[in-house]
Amino acid sequence: MTILYTAIAILAAIALIALLLPRKVVVTRSADVSLSPEEVIARVASTEGFQTFNPYCTTDPKLQITPFGPASGVGSGFRFEGKEGKGTQTVTDVTATSVTHLIDLGAMGKPVQTIEAKPIVGGARVTWSVASDMGFNPVFRIFGLFMDGMLGKTYELGLKNIKALG
């Protein structure tokens, strides 16, 4: 009986500690590119344009992309299915300097991705970030500790792909 109580106490302690971890996780990467901010925003706001630098297309040549909605702007988006999962990505906001996407990963959550392009001499500084709400699930909160290491490399590849377009 003591072993059972000890196991329950340990699990409860792990769950409590996990719930003390941050609920919101943000991953951000930036790079300077030779494209103008307007060129970057036009690509990011377009389903076809996004695919020209989509890092998941680089790492998964069999990635299936199915566009929906308008070709560009709010409401445009695509369904994706590949080795890293499936879901949708939809443009929810476009300004002169940024595009925001809602990524729906089903049970894995709905992170919000923002790509900004601000003018610099000779091009644009592009900042790619994603904000995820880990909710009250202790497993998701522990997973959140590893998000920067996992997604950061993907966004660095995407920024490298944008840089190669200029």
Domains observed in the chain: 2-165 (3.30.530.20)
CA–CA separation, 81 and 65 (whole Å): 7
Higher-pLDDT residue of 111 and 18 is: 111
- Which residue in 133, 51, 100, 38 sits closest to 90, CA to CA? 100
pLDDT in tens, 82-99: 998 999 999 999 999 999
Burial class (CB in 10 A: 0-12, 13-18, 19+), 77: buried
Mean pLDDT taken over the chain: 92
Distance of CA 50 to the CA centre of its chain: 13
pLDDT band for 19, please (50, 70, 90 cuts). Answer: low
pLDDT in tens, 33-57: 999 999 999 999 999 999 999 999 9
Confidence at residue 4, expressed as pLDDT on a 0 to 100 scale: 78
Mean per-residue pLDDT, 5-9: 76
